[in-house]
Structure 1
Amino acid sequence: MSLELPTERLLIREWELGDADAALQIYGAEEVAHWLTPEWQPVTDISAMRSVLHAWIEAGPNLIPPAGRWAIVRKEDGQLVGGLSLKLLPPFEEDFELTWALRPDVWGQGYATEASQAIISWAFKQGIEEVFAVARPRNERAIAVARRLGMEWVGETEKYYDMRLQVFRLRPS
């Protein structure tokens, strides 16, 4: 599903292979990869990042709507600052999980919250009934974003990625 979604400061758009250099600054950063799902390893070079982006781009049309993976671009200077995804949570693939990852040098500027609010609003218009976010218990930044998004804490579980995670949920108001 093709998407181009503007916010006040950002543009959420489809990934492109030309984004590999900027994406490597996000998904190659150890301080980002540390908080991602357990199977994720930091991307180590530009060739590997192109392969990841190629896989995401190719998989896009086969995802169950409104699932997808998108780049977050700062309007002011056109810099790619992060990525978002809306995907089905394992193992049952019934619940939609919102994820975000930003370049470490732009942390703390509200981009994760702003982009996530836009994707959540768009996803609810597509008819999904709730969105989840999961975070490792010590990932204070992710937990703070979930709370700023108005998500309610629903508990702790090891259900999704075979590790203890905090679970947050948001339903349309």
Structure 2
Amino acid sequence: MTEPWGGEPILITDRLILRPFRREDVPLYQAICADPKVMEFLGGTWTPDHTETVMAQANRGGKNAGGMVAIERKTDGAFLGAAGLGVEQWYPDDIQVGWRLIPAYWGQGYASEAGRAWLDYGFDVLGRERIIAMADTPNHRSIAVMRRLGMVFDHEARLRDGEDEFDATIYAITRAAWQSQHRPEILRLSPSFD
């Protein structure tokens, strides 16, 4: 089995580098996923081992909608959190865009910038016709990001995750809607994804 840590950047935007997780990101992302404030609407905190496993899996499949990968700020190399494309158990036919940031970086447009890059990638590189985003219904911050991305309300659902049930709000955007409104955000795709 190959080492899951590191690799070439996947996407680069004006302010961000979206890249595979590095070994030194592990404790930082473990802290995010153990923070009750961050995980309030994400099913609760994760153990360090679970977080590391999810990170390694995302690195192996990040460019192909395999999960979230690292967000690095270009100016100083700061690790801000993660964003990416994935598939959720409740909607196996849909690809979903998502993000998770350190609270100190909330409200600065980083989630929207990363989300735009991943939407561009999902439509232009992966050839998807529709991409969704979902959040616990009370998670107004994530829903606001979805709206800033030009996504529109699709539906609400009562979902089950193990023993827990929660109310989810799902937004979506089609390729046609994205192309009619979007301004290119990606500066470079990694050549390894040809």
Q: Taking structure 1 as the reference length, what is the TM-score of the superposition?
A: 0.84
State the superposition RMSD in angstroms.
2.4
Structure 2 equivalent of residue 11 of structure 1: 17
Structure 2 equivalent of residue 28 of structure 1: 34
Structure 1 position 81, deviation (Å): 0.4
Structure 1 position 89, deviation (Å): 1.9
Structure 2 equivalent of residue 144 of structure 1: 144
Maintained 8 Å contact 1:89/1:160? no
Structure 2 equivalent of residue 69 of structure 1: 68
The alignment status of 1:170 with 2:173, answered yes or no, reads yes
Give ranges in structure 2 of 5+ residues lacking alignment: 1-6, 177-194
SS at match of 2:166: coil
SS at match of 1:163: strand
> What is the percentage of aligned positions where both structures have the same residue?
29
Structure 1 position 91, deviation (Å): 3.3
Q: d(CA) in 1 for partners of 2:64 and 2:160?
A: 20
Within 5 A, what are the aligned runs for 1:15-164?
15-36=21-42, 38=43, 40-43=44-47, 48=48, 52-58=51-57, 60-61=59-60, 65-91=64-90, 93-125=92-124, 126-159=126-159, 161=161, 162-164=165-167
Give ranges in structure 1 of 5+ residues lacking alignment: none
Aligned residues: 166
Maintained 8 Å contact 1:134/1:167? yes
Q: What letter matches 1:122 in structure 2?
A: Y
Maintained 8 Å contact 1:30/1:42? no
Q: d(CA) in 2 for partners of 1:68 and 1:127?
A: 17
